[in-house]
Structure 1
């Protein structure tokens, strides 16, 4: 699941799960018969591959994600699903990597070594790059302005290059360490202050560059991927990132020695006097960088099962799960650096594969669905719902013919609220079923009452949900198009979330299979009933 929160309003009501009070459907024997393909053993076969160390955490735009895409494509092909994208199972996404090229920093005419003495990140370089030269800089200590302490007092930074420490704060008690998040926030504050003060650039003294490992160097140099939509291109053209450069302690000392001091001496002086040591330093500094654009392989994987009814087959039910995760994190403590993403979202992807097998088996036996079904595993969810957004901008099947999206994102574990409870192995968070269609909400309850009898928890339909779960997975890009959705989710937000501990060994496979069966039975009803679910709600859970 995507970590970012979107800040759109949500005005809806909570719906209590009440399958005991809902009139069940007449159980369909064929649906039950073919659901047997959705079982723990088959789930393990897929997930043990997709979430293995060999797939390196399946980060978008990397080898691991390509391996996962190939695995899913080959499985869809083995089932006999149609390749719906002009004869391909891949819907290619226009993804590019923006990295820094030709970066340069000189101090008094002496060149420094990139990714050793200094670092220029790709997000600090505009589309056209930057270059500057100066004969003097402003050293502003820690760049702190609070609690009666002001490193900028009496300084004019307009048009100047400013040198500050990245970490540390003289107003904080000695011995208190800043967390990683606090460091990021402090850096953002310092950068924002100097940008608003119209400084030319900021140079951060960053001790983490003093002993860069090869792994860290690789992480620094890989750049950043961006889905290349016209909106993104236009936005980048309008942006002019404030230039930031990070330097090592040794490089900082090369600058400070011109003023007869050093990093250690300045820090000691500030600590002893509790006063700023800011000054203008006469030193010749030049810097430049260009941005390089490189295409990156990236694709959604689609398999299509055509419906059996001559009229209804033009309508499509879309079943989704995202196969990407966050890859390898070298900075994590401990020997395990791979974020396997077994639950997030290897479990949901596995659910899509299991449902594909069940529906294909039904069709081979002459019991195929009347409407068509698109099985789609999407990429880039962790980057900002990229894959589903791309599909929403470039739909393979007409939006007006897409009757519903059922999205499985994290269905393999027990969330914190259910740990140790009697129903810990018989629940699922059902998100958004009533946002656009009261028909779909009612159908979901009827299906559950008939087949799976799970507890449907609607907690995340609460408009006051602080986690904003409704906006954080791929179903949302369908909902924005006015397509009814249900998002199935286990609620695991703390234990192992986006960490190497999200391993196959921690998956509850019987529970994964049961949740996938609930999704399958709901899809079966959607694909076979006479009428599609009416869109009678406003997208926020209010009747139109």
Structure 2
């Protein structure tokens, strides 16, 4: 028995040592990912000529052509019925009519109210003499704003936040902890929609200071979905705290008074308010061109299983005369995907191709709400059940302030949320090859930035596909015209991309795919 135990121990040690030794083949192809090549591609894609690559605009189409031609030149297959493009039916919506009147007085779009989100119908028309203020819109065992009021068929106003008593304890959890209404912001709206009000007004405190009237000419891009009962979808309209106080003032109260009464009584203070409300919001829509770019590398004996590597090539376009070139966000991820494709194709051409197939995909519409990746996840070119992992690269070319003293890092998000196998593969790849400091700060489910929900990997994770999100953190140039090529640290970008390569190599060639062995504790709504 002792001999058997010793033998098993020696085998385990030898396997660990073998996995921890650098493979010269992997190193050879990883080293084809160079700062020079990354800079060459990024200098083109993040130039003013591409106009900020906004979804639906000429610059995004130019970028998709550039990436597709590159994939074609590498010899990647065109997997969408012989095309490198997956077309996405999107529309651009702009405001045509905006009227919001309370007791005959008009209030302004952008300063007092906003519409947002693709769940809204294109036409919202409501005339009524009653509106219901339902506090925080909470429905729980310990605290229920809706228990004594009826909102079916009526406009309802709710606030963000959660009720707190005079002792500082949360009235929902009866503790210092927040409830699921904070963990999942969609729950409040979804629960209220289930009660079928005519419209939901959500108080957005600080709206005037934050937005002013900048949204007067805002255009929205969303799916061109043809839905049954389109006109009966329950709209959501955001209103300023000042407008909410006007409405509450009709019944001689205010938001502050409401909070104080809840704290003192520990009971909801919902009420119906008699007033004349006239709401008329109408949008006009036009179709736009949008497309994901897909390049496919078939595997060998495990070719039916697919590893997906993603980045979004779109950015936010032009504003106030400035071009938002998005060199880091996400030109850095897009060019990394291109270089990864080249590395794997060179290996394939030299007889070292992957066992599993690899889909290299740059998606559009991320800045508009992860639209490109959502469309792919709902209309996959390859079956999701055969998709083993998504490695998503979104901003890997810069250094955030927290790492100014030591830039040898990358943030890792989501690697352990569904599969400890995947997490371990990435850890081992880094330990063996790149030796970056893997920072898991943003992997915390309680992180207020909620980055797990804010890039394209999320649309794979919600289908129970393991993911890793590679990220350099935010910086002063995030979503500003100053996010330029000149600020990219190309050697660091190359090193981070090489970590993705080493992780992808192991995933594409290992005997087993990562096992989904962790319950997805993240809510299904962002």
Change in Cα spacing, 1:230 to 1:485, as seen in structure 2 (3 Å) is farther
Matched, 1:538 2:519: yes
357-366 or 29-38, which moves further after superposition? 29-38
CA contact (8 A) 1:81 1:303 kept: yes
Matched, 1:442 2:438: no
Matched residue count: 385
C-alpha distance in structure 1 between counterparts of 2:502 and 2:80, whole Å: 27
Give matches, 1:17-32, under 5 Å.
24-32=19-27
- Kindly state the Cα deviation for residue 129 of structure 1 after the two structures are TM-superposed: 6.8
Change in Cα spacing, 1:62 to 1:527, as seen in structure 2 (3 Å) is same
Change in Cα spacing, 1:289 to 1:320, as seen in structure 2 (3 Å) is closer
Give matches, 1:470-481, under 5 Å.
470-481=452-463
Tell me the alpha carbon deviations over residues 71-109 of structure 1, each in whole angstroms, 9 at most, x when there is no partner: 1111111111111011111111110122345x699xxxx
RMSD of aligned residue pairs (Cα, Å): 3.7
C-alpha distance in structure 2 between counterparts of 1:32 and 1:38, whole Å: 10
Higher Rg? 1
Change in Cα spacing, 1:454 to 1:126, as seen in structure 2 (3 Å) is closer
Q: Paired residue for 1:280?
A: none
C-alpha distance in structure 2 between counterparts of 1:518 and 1:104, whole Å: 50
Q: 1:322 aligns with which of 312, 318, 325?
A: 312
- Kindly state the Cα deviation for residue 241 of structure 1 after the two structures are TM-superposed: 6.9
C-alpha distance in structure 2 between counterparts of 1:294 and 1:63, whole Å: 15
- Kindly state the Cα deviation for residue 459 of structure 1 after the two structures are TM-superposed: 1.1
Q: 2:32 aligns with which of 37, 58, 72?
A: 37
C-alpha distance in structure 1 between counterparts of 2:95 and 2:447, whole Å: 39
C-alpha distance in structure 2 between counterparts of 1:58 and 1:489, whole Å: 20
Q: 2:386 aligns with which of 393, 401, 404?
A: 401
Matched, 1:517 2:507: no
Q: Secondary structure at the match of 2:498?
A: helix
Q: Secondary structure at the match of 2:31?
A: helix
- Kindly state the Cα deviation for residue 70 of structure 1 after the two structures are TM-superposed: 1.0
- Kindly state the Cα deviation for residue 128 of structure 1 after the two structures are TM-superposed: 4.5
Q: Paired residue for 2:288?
A: 296
TM-score by length of 1: 0.64
CA contact (8 A) 1:408 1:489 kept: yes
- Kindly state the Cα deviation for residue 41 of structure 1 after the two structures are TM-superposed: 0.4
C-alpha distance in structure 2 between counterparts of 1:463 and 1:444, whole Å: 20
What 5-or-longer segments of structure 2 have no aligned partner? 1-15, 100-108, 128-153, 155-198, 202-207, 240-277
Q: Paired residue for 2:336?
A: 351
C-alpha distance in structure 2 between counterparts of 1:360 and 1:321, whole Å: 18
- Kindly state the Cα deviation for residue 366 of structure 1 after the two structures are TM-superposed: 1.2
Q: 2:397 aligns with which of 385, 405, 412?
A: 412
CA contact (8 A) 1:98 1:122 kept: no
C-alpha distance in structure 1 between counterparts of 2:345 and 2:200, whole Å: 60
Q: Secondary structure at the match of 1:314?
A: strand
C-alpha distance in structure 2 between counterparts of 1:224 and 1:51, whole Å: 23
Q: Paired residue for 1:454?
A: 436
Q: Paired residue for 1:362?
A: 347
Change in Cα spacing, 1:126 to 1:235, as seen in structure 2 (3 Å) is closer
CA contact (8 A) 1:122 1:224 kept: no
Change in Cα spacing, 1:288 to 1:474, as seen in structure 2 (3 Å) is closer
CA contact (8 A) 1:301 1:378 kept: yes
- Kindly state the Cα deviation for residue 235 of structure 1 after the two structures are TM-superposed: 6.7
Q: Paired residue for 1:495?
A: 476
Change in Cα spacing, 1:241 to 1:411, as seen in structure 2 (3 Å) is closer
Change in Cα spacing, 1:439 to 1:94, as seen in structure 2 (3 Å) is same
C-alpha distance in structure 1 between counterparts of 2:372 and 2:229, whole Å: 20
TM-score by length of 2: 0.66
CA contact (8 A) 2:115 2:238 kept: no
Q: 1:469 aligns with which of 451, 467, 470?
A: 451
